[in-house]
Amino acid sequence: MTALTSCGFSPQYGTIGGSGATQFDDVDVGSIPDRYGQILRNKLTHVLGEKRGHARPLLFDVDLQVNFREIGYEKNLNTSRSEVMILANYQLKDRQNIQPPQKGMCRTSEYFSMSKEQIFQNVTSEKNAPMRGIETISRCLIDRLSILIKRIKPQERQ
Give pLDDT, residue 97: 78
Give pLDDT, residue 157: 45
| Residue 26 to residue 58: CA distance in whole angstroms | 6
Give pLDDT, residue 15: 47
Q: Which fold has domain 27-157?
A: Double Stranded RNA Binding Domain (3.30.160)
Rg of the Cα atoms in the chain? 20
Give pLDDT, residue 139: 95
Q: How does pLDDT run along the chain (158 residues), one tens digit per residue?
A: 455 555 655 555 554 444 444 678 888 899 999 999 999 999 999 988 777 667 778 889 999 999 998 887 766 667 778 889 999 999 998 888 777 888 999 999 988 877 767 666 666 777 888 899 999 999 999 999 988 888 775 545 44
Give pLDDT, residue 32: 94
Residue 36, SS3 per DSSP: helix
Measured in degrees and rounded to the nearest 5, phi and psi for residue 23 equal -65, -15
28, 36, 112, 120, 125 from 132: Cα distances, Å? 24, 11, 11, 18, 10
Q: Strand locations in the chain, DSSP E? A: 27-29, 58-73, 79-94, 102-115
| Residue 157 to residue 142: CA distance in whole angstroms | 19
Give pLDDT, residue 91: 94
26, 64, 92, 106, 149 from 21: Cα distances, Å? 10, 29, 20, 27, 14
Strand 79-94 with 102-115, pairing: antiparallel
